[in-house]
C-alpha cells in the first residue's frame, strides 16, 4: 500500500517505520530540516523494533510531483500544523483512498 504520512514528528516517524517494516511504500511529508537529515543519516527509531531506513520524503504536496496517488494518508501532526498539512494531503490521495487524522482533543485524558 502507498502511504503518505503528513508530519514526521515522533508519532509520524514511528508509524512510518512500522509501515515500512510491514513492506508498505511510505513517504513522509515533513520539514526541509527532516528531509536533509533523513537523506544523510536515514531514520532510526529505537525501542522495541530498532528500525533504521531511508524514507522517501517531501516538503510539500507539489514536491511529490507526478507520483501515483496514495492509497492512505495519515495526519499525526500536532494542532499547530494540522490545518496546513490537512490542506496539502488530499490532492495526493486516490479517489478510493483513506485519510486518517489525529482526533481533536487527543491530548486530553478522559476519566
Burial 98-111 (b: 16+ CB within 10 A, else e): eeebbeeeeeeeee
- Is there a contact between 71 and 3 (Cβ–Cβ < 8 Å)? yes
**What digits encode the pLDDT tens for the residues 77-98?**
766 666 777 776 777 788 899 8
**What digits encode the pLDDT tens for the residues 31-43?**
889 999 999 999 9
Do strands 43-45 and 51-53 pair parallel, antiparallel, or not at all (unpaired)? Answer: antiparallel
Least confident of 33-42, 52-61, 100-109: 100-109
- Is there a contact between 67 and 26 (Cβ–Cβ < 8 Å)? no
pTM equals 0.82
Rounded distance between C-alpha atoms, residue 55 and residue 27, angstroms: 6
In this predicted structure, what is the pLDDT of residue 110? 43
The radius of gyration of the chain's CA atoms, rounded to the nearest angstrom, is 14
Average pLDDT, the chain: 82
Amino acid at each position: 500500500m502507498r502511504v503518505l504520512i503528513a508530519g514526521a514528528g515522533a508519532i509520524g516517524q514511528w508509524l512510518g517505520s512500522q509501515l515500512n517494516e510491514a513492506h508498505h511504500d511510505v513517504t513522509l511529508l515533513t520539514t526541509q530540516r527532516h528531509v536533509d537529515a533523513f537523506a544523510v543519516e536515514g531514520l532510526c527509531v529505537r525501542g522495541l523494533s530498532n528500525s533504521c531506513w531511508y524514507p522517501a520524503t517531501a516538503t510539500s504536496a507539489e514536491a511529490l510531483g507526478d507520483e501515483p496517488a496514495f492509497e492512505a494518508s495519515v495526519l499525526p501532526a500536532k494542532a499547530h500544523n494540522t490545518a496546513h498539512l490537512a490542506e496539502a494531503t488530499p490532492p495526493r490521495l486516490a479517489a478510493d483512498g483513506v485519510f486518517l487524522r489525529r482526533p481533536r482533543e487527543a491530548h486530553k485524558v478522559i476519566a
